[in-house]
Amino acid sequence: MSDLILSFREIGMGDVGRVGGKNASLGEMFQKLIPLQINIPDGFAITADAFRLFVQHNEIGESIQKHLKELDLKDFSNLNSVSSSIKKLFLSGSFPKELIQQIEKAYQQLCEANEREVEVAVRSSATAEDLPGASFAGLHESFLNIRGKEKLVETVRSCFASLYNARAIKYRHDKGFDKHEIALSVGVQLMVRADLACSGVTFSIDPESGFADAVLITGCWGLGENIVQGAVIPDEYLVFKPSLEKGKKSILSKKIGSKTKTMIYQKGGGVLNLDTPKEKQKSFVLSDEEIETLGKWAVEIEKHYQMPMDIEWAKDGNSGELFIVQARPETVHAEKDPYVLKEYSLTEKGKLRSTGYAIGSGITAGKIKILHSPAEANLLEKGDILLTEITNPDWDPVMKKAGAIITTKGGRTSHAAIVAREVGALAIVGAEGALEDMKDGDVVTVDNSSGKMGKVYEGKLKWKIQEHNFRGLQLPKTQPMFILADPEKAFNLSFFPNKGVGLMRMEFVVNGSIQVHPMALVHFDQLKDKEEKAQIEVLCHGYSDKKEYFVDRLAQSVGTIAAAFYPKDVILRMSDFKTNEYAHLLGGSQFEVEEENPMLGFRGASRYDHERYREGFALECQAVKRVRKDMGLENLKVMIPFCRTPEEGKKVIARMKKLGLEQGKNGLEIYVMAEIPSNVILAKEFAQIFDGFSIGSNDLTQLTLGVDRDSEVLSELFDENNPAIKWMIAEVIRKAKAAGKKIGLCGQAPSDNPAFAQFLISEGIDSISFNPDALLKGIENMIQAESKI
């Protein structure tokens, strides 16, 4: 169009100096991504030259520099007054006639192309903005629902002035950008009617762990400013890229957010933030098809830019179409060394006070300081735990002083989360009720060491830190694998040196994520306990079929772990609750018998084709089938626990085939636990039925020595190093190898005892699985053992 105005069709990533990072990215996407069927709203950029012309026309350049030289660079005590003085220069200035004419002409062309007077979003785009290493998240002003030429020109003036917001001046100083000449461009983009639908933020990697094969999508009703500002807890969807590329079902998990506010356009311009109706709060904002579309677009955008991206999307309520409205480089993991990890763990227990989404991995402790606005920043002492409702960019200097940040609203893509990651601070966002549960001066421990959910404990607890550097680490020939149950930790643990998951415990998922006995879902109408029935109704909200609740939740958890370690093997042990443990699940007591000795009772393989549990096992198999077939995660294998006889093993294999899990089809391997003396004695027969063995050393020790592993009185007799146990282990390894079958061991002993690791390796074991906290010590012992053989 001109040097002052450029349409999105005319600009690309080479134009950052002319139109800033945000606008350069919009132009790049408009030109390069629309041909890939990615929807980008049209618009134009008012260039940095226009900004400079405004400064020159009003002769304010020298005054700006004079005020900046007066800035207290030590304590920034006069930051607000310097900012205010400079902004007044802009807000009282006049526009050159030429610039007004060109802005109005460009807007008119946008209106003519859409055959009406259009509403536009007006966004600031600084010439150093949205670069890797500096997000400038929310530092400059953006205005939504601007309509009419005069209103647009006045809004551009406000954007120009926002280059000298206090928070922007401070941020540029902290990042070293104040030594460079900075100008501001303004993007004018067609508004998407997301107020009638929904919008949100997408990261093309998992923003917490940096796991590259996942796309995180967040969404809320109405305009996405509520997510960016952290005013709501949004829905969260996790999409697996390799499944997307194979055309398989790719959604790993869906979490519903409370979404208590809906931002809409106000008649005559501006926005309103309304309460979201209760029914909409309980509904997902996106369909599965829309989630996968946004996932595909994120992959395409990441491929185009060749780096992880932070993307804003919106859905138009009139047309039903999805649009991408912004994309910028993800600024945290781009700079991290993936081979260096710090591992934190609490060494004592405490009373849980609050939970929310964990941002950053670590543990810290301090005094709670409740602040209601950044104006109260002087009340916060360095290291205090800042507790507030939400944050915006005005909070940035305050957040840098805090030992940790807790907000009662917001999700993992909110302003508080993005800034906390960038400054390396710990944060917990969406900690609903925290302002009521804690008060000023409370000493608390913030624990973000155990997955996606952060926890706040009462008092100052003790913790330990281990730093690991995996660069150049050679793995032993014997495969080190994980014992794993919690999908929340899977992405972080995938960065550790490993060969996959040798044991995933299904019971943990059922107990923690599902909480309901599967047979209570199959026979829900027959439940006698009204209170439990009501609790199950709440858990199953959104599922018309209660059996689908079990299958879907189990598939999400298993799929997340299988995806985290893909394409390495993940071996899922089918359910191995004892009857007393099953009875504690909601609705469970009605379907379980009381046993004198549940450890030796109705457990494992015996349940799977029995009338008391047959339908429950079918739900387990349905979830496995969904992960393997629908999601394409064929690295998932299964393992049968407590299989007493070869005949029982054959029945289970036949039952699984009827349920759509055919051994050998699409690489499905079915293993058996070697944990009963009969498994060792008849190992040759078991080897003809199963694809491999996993030695369960706890049960094998218990049943060989006749020692209850839960007995404190007999605890000294429970010893995996007992010659009888070692004979059992050596014998089953020998028989497995003779039959050409794989065999591993799951247990603590090889990490605690180098001699035990040497024993296993000398006998020729294929893999050893460790709990996450024991993996590295276990690998060290394995390497040491191999060097001696």
Antiparallel, parallel or unpaired: β 670-674 and 692-696: parallel
* Arithmetic mean of pLDDT, 212-241: 94
Q: Which of 415, 517, 540, 643 is catalytic?
A: 415
- Average pLDDT over the chain reads 92
The model's pTM? 0.87
Q: Which of 28-32, 166-170, 291-295, 657-661 has the lowest mean pLDDT?
A: 166-170
pLDDT over 90 for what percent of the chain?
75
What Rg value do the Cα atoms of the chain yield, rounded? 30
Identity of the highest mean pLDDT range in 166-170, 379-383, 686-690: 686-690
Q: Which CATH class is domain 337-468?
A: alpha beta
Burial of 92 (0-12, 13-18, 19+ CB in 10 A): exposed
Angstrom distance (rounded) from CA 398 to CA 381: 10
pLDDT for 130: 44
Domain 480-668 coded CATH 3.20.20.60 = yes
Positive or negative torsion for Cα 531, 534, 538, 540: positive
* Arithmetic mean of pLDDT, 463-490: 89
- Furthest CA-CA distance within the chain: 95
57 classed as catalytic: no
415 classed as catalytic: yes
CATH number for the region 195-334 comes to: 3.30.470.20
Quick: pLDDT tens for 699-747: 999 999 998 877 778 878 888 889 999 999 999 999 999 999 999 999 7
CA distances from 42 to 118, 188, 198 (A): 11, 9, 19
When pLDDT is cut at 50, 70 and 90, the band that residue 73 belongs to is confident
pLDDT for 674: 97
Angstrom distance (rounded) from CA 576 to CA 607: 9
Nearest to 650 by CA among 698, 694, 695, 682: 682
Looking at domain 5-190, its CATH superfamily turns out to be ATP-grasp fold, A domain (3.30.1490.20)
**Whether 136 contacts 129, CB under 8 Å:** yes
Q: Could you count the other beta carbons within 10 Å of the beta carbon of residue 573?
A: 24
Positive or negative torsion for Cα 147, 153, 155, 160: positive
- Indicate the DSSP class of residue 352: E
- Nearest-5° Cα angle at 743, 741 to 744: 165
pLDDT for 334: 59
The token pair at 581 is: 């443990």
* Arithmetic mean of pLDDT, 186-211: 94
pLDDT for 335: 62
How remote is the C-alpha of 373 from its chain's centroid?
28
How are strands ordered across the β-sheet holding 309-315?
A: 251-255, 235-240, 214-221, 198-203, 309-315, 322-329
pLDDT for 179: 57
Quick: pLDDT tens for 77-118: 899 899 999 999 999 999 999 999 999 999 999 999 999 999
SS (H, E, C) 196-236: HCEEEEEECCCCCCCCCCEEEEEEEEECCHHHHHCCCCCEE
DSSP string, 556-612: HHHHHHHHHTTTS-EEEEPP---HHHHHTSBT-TTT----S-GGGSS-THHHHTSTT
Task: Go through the chain and tell me how many residues it has.
Answer: 789
- Collapsed DSSP state (helix, strand, coil) of residue 716: helix
- In the chain, domain spans: 5-190, 195-334, 337-468, 480-668, 672-789
* Arithmetic mean of pLDDT, 751-774: 92
**Whether 234 contacts 220, CB under 8 Å:** yes
Quick: pLDDT tens for 490-543: 998 999 999 999 999 999 899 989 999 999 999 999 999 999 999 999 999 889
Tell me, yes or no, if the two domains 480-668 and 672-789 fold the same way.
Answer: yes
Give yes or no for a cis peptide into 754 (omega within 30° of 0).
Answer: no
How remote is the C-alpha of 520 from its chain's centroid?
31
When pLDDT is cut at 50, 70 and 90, the band that residue 175 belongs to is confident
* Arithmetic mean of pLDDT, 467-496: 89
Please give the sequence-ordered ranges of beta strands (E in DSSP) within 701-781, or none if there are none: 742-746, 767-770
pLDDT for 360: 87
Q: For residue 22, what are the contacts with CB-CB under 8 A and spacing of at least 6?
A: 123, 124, 125, 129, 130, 187, 326, 328
pLDDT for 132: 45
pLDDT for 131: 46
Q: Which CATH class is domain 672-789?
A: alpha beta
Antiparallel, parallel or unpaired: β 767-770 and 322-329: unpaired
Angstrom distance (rounded) from CA 250 to CA 241: 7
* Arithmetic mean of pLDDT, 654-661: 98
φ, ψ for residue 491 (rounded to 5)?
-60, -45
pLDDT for 357: 92
**Whether 668 contacts 692, CB under 8 Å:** no
Angstrom distance (rounded) from CA 620 to CA 80: 60
CA distances from 485 to 357, 493, 501, 550 (A): 19, 12, 10, 17
When pLDDT is cut at 50, 70 and 90, the band that residue 134 belongs to is very low
**Whether 407 contacts 427, CB under 8 Å:** yes
DSSP string, 312-350: EEEE-TTT--EEEEEEEE--SGGGS-TTEEEEEEESS--
The packing angle between helices 97-114 and 48-57, to 10°, is: 140
- Indicate the DSSP class of residue 630: I
